C-alpha cells in the first residue's frame, strides 16, 4: 500500500493520515500524530518515524532534537486506510514533557506515566 492508496483526511487544512506509534515491546501507545506524503515516504525509506507537524507546518523527524528517535518494526493500516499504526522501538521518552508516552495522565489529571528525562535539559 502506497500513499495514493491511503484515505487522506482534511486535518487543520492539510491532507493527512493519522499515525499512531505503539511500543513494539510493551504495547504502550506512545503518541499519535499525522503524516503527509513526505513523512510517510521518509519513514518507509529510513525505518525511522517521520511526521508532519500541524503546528510548525513542516516535516518533522520524531526525536530530531531529543535524540529519542523511533525505529519502525511493523506497520499496520486500519480498515478504512486513514490511519497507520507504527509498532516501534523507543530509544527514549516519546513525550516532549519527558515521559515515556504522551499519554502519561488520566483525564482526571493524575500522572500515571513514567518520566524518563527532564525537558529543561533536552530542549
Residue identified by cell 495522565 is 105
Query: b/e per residue, 60-77, with b = 16+ CB within 10 A?
Result: bbbbeebebbbbbeeeee
Tell me how far, at minimum, the Cβ of 114 lies from a second copy, in Å. 13
Q: Which residues, numbered 10-49, are part of the site for a second copy (CB under 8 A)?
A: 10-13, 18, 20, 22, 26-29, 31-32
Question: Pick from 83, 88, 90, 100: which binds a second copy (CB under 8 A)?
Answer: 83
Long-range pairs for 107-116 at CB < 8 Å and ≥24 separation? 116/92
Tell me how far, at minimum, the Cβ of 3 lies from a second copy, in Å. 11
Question: Pick from 45, 67, 107, 121: which binds a second copy (CB under 8 A)?
Answer: 107
Residues that bind a second copy (CB under 8 A): 1, 9-13, 18, 20, 22, 26-29, 31-32, 54, 74-80, 83-85, 95-97, 99, 102-109, 112
Amino acid at each position: 500500500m502506497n500513499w495514493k492508496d491511503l484515505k487522506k483526511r482534511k486535518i487543520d487544512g492539510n491532507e493527512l493520515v493519522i499515525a499512531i506509534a505503539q511500543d513494539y515491546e510493551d504495547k504502550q501507545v506512545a503518541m499519535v500524530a499525522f503524516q503527509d506524503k513526505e513523512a510517510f515516504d521518509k519513514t518507509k525509506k529510513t525505518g525511522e518515524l517521520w511526521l508532519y507537524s500541524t503546528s510548525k507546518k513542516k516535516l518533522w523527524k520524531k526525536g530530531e532534537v531529543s535524540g529519542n528517535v523511533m525505529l519502525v518494526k511493523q506497520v499496520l493500516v486500519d480498515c478504512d486506510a486513514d490511519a497507520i499504526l507504527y509498532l516501534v522501538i523507543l530509544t527514549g521518552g516519546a513525550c516532549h514533557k519527558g515521559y515515556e508516552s504522551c499519554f502519561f495522565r488520566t483525564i482526571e489529571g493524575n500522572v500515571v506515566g513514567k518520566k524518563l528525562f527532564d525537558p529543561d535539559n533536552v530542549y
